[in-house]
Amino acid sequence: MRRRHLLAIGAVAIATVAVAAQRPPKAAAAATGGGAAAPAGGFRFRGITGSEIALDEWRGQPVLVVNTASRCGFTSQYEDMQALYDRFRARGLVVLAVPSDDFNQELGSDAEVAEFCEVNFGLDLPMAGITRVRGPEAHPFYLWLAREHRFAPRWNFNKVLIGPDGEMLGSWGSATRPTARAIVRAVEAALAG
C-alpha cells in the first residue's frame, strides 16, 4: 500500500514538472503584449538530407507541421500525413515532418529516419532532420510556438497548422490523425483563403 502511494506521489510530481516545462515563462508570454501573435517567418530547418528547408518558401500556402518519431505508437500516422499531402498538395498544402528524439523514440540518425520512412511509408513530403521540439534547446520555430501561442508538443505526432499568412490556425494532439475531419476542414478553409 505504501509503495503504491509513493508511486502515485512520484507520478503526480513528474506530471507537474512536465506540464510546467511546457509552459513558456511568464515574461515571455507577457512580451506578446496580449495582442496578435507574430507570424511564423524566417524559420529554417535542416532537411533530412542536409539541405535547408525555409518556411518562407511556402509563404502564401498552409503548412501542417508534425513532430514525428519512428518508434512511436503513432508512427502509422505517417500514412495519413502522406495521404493528406497527396490530397491537397496540388492546391498548395505543405505537410512538414519534423522528426524528434525528445521523447526517446526516434532512430539514431537522419539517414536511418529517411530510410525507415521511405521503406515503410514511401514518403515524399518534406522532412526536417532530427530536431529538438521542447524545452530551452528547442528549434526556434517551436520556441516561437511556445512563446506566441503557448503550445509545446506533449508527445510525438502533435500537429500545428500554419496559415498562408504565417499565423497559427490550429493545433492537434497525437490522437488526432492528420486526416481527421477537424484538420481537413481547417486545411480546406486555409486553402479557400
Name the catalytic one among 37, 72, 184, 191: 72
Instruction: Compute how many other C-beta atoms are within 10 angstroms of the C-beta atom of residue 89.
Output: 15
In the annotation, is 117 catalytic?
no
Spell out the residues 6+ positions from residue 37 whose beta carbon is closer than 8 angstroms to its own. Answer: 148, 149, 167, 168
Q: How far apart are CA 23 and CA 21, in angstroms?
A: 6
CA distance 99 to 130: 5
Helices marked H in the chain? 2-22, 26-30, 77-88, 110-121, 140-149, 181-192
Q: Which residue has the cell 524528434?
A: 100
Question: What residues are labeled active site?
Answer: 72
